[in-house]
Amino acid sequence: MDAIMRRIFRWRLDRYKKRGLQIADDCRMEGMPMFGSEPYLVSIGKHCLLSGKVTFITHDGSTFVFRNRPEYSDVIKFGRITVHDNCFIGYGVTILPGVSIGPNAIVAAGALVTKDVPEGTVVAGLPAKVMMTVDEYAEKVKAATPDYDRDLYKSDKRAELLRLYPYPW
């Protein structure tokens, strides 16, 4: 079954690429992102990880509400979305038209990215705001890393994590 799912995933990704999606070969995806109706307006650089349920919105369909008025009949609103090299996009992130992310940036789970994300920053929230630099985040995570058995973690990750974080009851 796993091989079938990988083939379907690869087929879907290839279809997006044929429709113009730019994505480096070394990117990782945890599930297929929603690239929208204009995948040719999405570019993703090298060494990026996209978590599940990431959505790229390259247009603003709300112009539907006023395009029937003569003075707005030719109005359109689209924008390229660019994710630069070495970025992490968390679970459930939505990225709006015209946004550029990174390089070396982290977008926290659930964020709504409405503006450009500066290089080397961590953003979070609705709308996404800069929380800290990636270096500050790395130090924070390092300081919070528990003393764990690296060999056991490599051989039996589940057992080591349950030793560190046992069931509450």
Q: Helix/strand/coil (H, E, C) string of 41-67?
A: HEEECCCCEECCCCEECCECHHHHHCC
Lookup: tokens for 17: 């690429």
The answer to whether residues 84 and 100 touch, using CB atoms and an 8 Å cutoff, is yes
User: Contact, 47 vs 82, CB < 8 A?
Assistant: no
Number of helices (H) and strands (E), helices first, in the chain?
4, 13
Per DSSP, what are the bridge partners of residue 113? 95
Q: Which one of 17, 47, 59, 115 is the catalytic residue? A: 59
Examine the residue annotation and report whether 84 is marked as an active-site residue of this protein.
no
Active site residues per annotation? 59
